[in-house]
Amino acid sequence: MTGLRIGQGFDVHRFAAPEDGRPLVLMGCEVPHDRGLAGHSDADVMIHALMDALLGAAGLGDIGQHFPDTDPAYRGADSAQLLRRVMGDLSERGWRVVNADVCLIGERPKIGPHRERMRGRIAPLLGLAAEALNVKATTTEKLGFTGRGEGLAAQAVVLIERI
Ligand X SMILES: Nc1ccn([C@@H]2O[C@H](COP(=O)(O)O)[C@@H](O)[C@H]2O)c(=O)n1
Query: What is the contact surface with ligand CDI in residues (CB under 6 A)?
Result: 11, 39-41, 43, 48, 63-64, 67, 69, 74, 77, 82
Q: Does 37 bind ligand X (CB under 6 A)?
A: no
How far is Cα 116 from Cα 32, in angstroms, rounded to an integer? Answer: 15
How far is Cα 87 from Cα 89, in angstroms, rounded to an integer? Answer: 5
Residue 41 interaction partner, one of ligand CDI, ligand X, none, beta carbon < 5-8 Å per kind: ligand CDI
∠ Cα 54 125 23 (to 5°)? 90
∠ Cα 64 97 154 (to 5°)? 45
Residue 20 interaction partner, one of ligand CDI, ligand X, none, beta carbon < 5-8 Å per kind: none
Least Cβ distance, residue 138 to ligand X (angstroms): 4
**Phi, psi dihedrals of residue 44, rounded to the nearest 5°:** -75, 90
Residue 67 interaction partner, one of ligand X, ligand CDI, none, beta carbon < 5-8 Å per kind: ligand CDI
Q: By CB under 6 A, name the one of 137, 153, 156, 157 that touches ligand X.
A: 137
